[in-house]
Amino acid sequence: MTVKEWLDESTPDRREVVVCFDRRLVSELVKAKAELEDARSLNAGMLGDNLTAYTAAVADLEEAVRAKSRTLVFEGVGWGRWRDIISKNPPVEDQASTFSRAVQLGFMPHAVENITYNAETFVPAALAASCTDPGMTVHEATTLLRKAPPGVIERLWAAVLEVNLAGASDPFVGSAGASAAAPTSAKKSKRP
């Protein structure tokens, strides 16, 4: 097979993130689980019906959270489109100088000294471009970033970065090149 044929068969990296946007319900579940654990640790042998009630409450809340949860699918957009999104969202002067000063003061690593994008516009653009199911507009991504808690945003952004920059682990790559378990087609390359 040629590289062109490999590329024609290629698919983007993909990651699914399940989120319950009903954060009150999630909080109720967290509280109920903590109460159940407290009850178990206090008098495990003496709870009887109370333990059954706590367990049932947790199960009911877990089902409610599952019912309210949504799956967002993220796929890599490809290096060319990723660079295009970056170039369409350049940093404004204040951001560049703020990052530079933060590096000088030791608050940020030197790796971010030369920031290449506007974090306020690039992040929602990359989020929207990478979210394939359901589709998401930049406006929707911006609203999501304003309303969702930091933990949810971190999970979504981690998925965007994984599919666009890190990629999924290749199961056949060893530390010293191709492993012995590599597929036959990879071993029979016509190139020297």
Summarised one tens digit per residue, pLDDT across range 154-187 is: 999 999 999 998 866 666 655 544 444 444 444 4
pLDDT band at 115 (very low <50, low <70, confident <90, very high): low
Q: Which residues contact 1 (CB under 8 A, 6 or more apart)?
A: 185
Most confident range (mean pLDDT) of 113-117, 128-132, 169-173 is 128-132
In the chain, where the domains are located: 20-72, 76-165
Q: 191 falls in which pLDDT band (50, 70, 90)?
A: very low
pTM for this entry: 0.72
Three-state DSSP at 126 gives: helix
Is the pLDDT reported for residue 65 higher than 50? yes
From residue 136, give the alpha-carbon distance in Å to each of 73, 125, 126, 140, 164: 10, 10, 10, 6, 17
Q: Residue 57: which pLDDT band, with cuts at 50, 70 and 90?
A: very high
Mean pLDDT for 138-166 is 92
Report how far residue 39's alpha carbon sits from residue 26's, in angstroms, rounded to the nearest whole number. 20
List CB contacts of 178: < 8 A, sequence separation 6 or more: 172, 186, 187
| Alpha carbon distance 88, 141 (integer Å) | 16
Pairwise CA distance, residues 124 & 142, whole Å:
5
The stretch 85-114 carries a mean pLDDT of 71
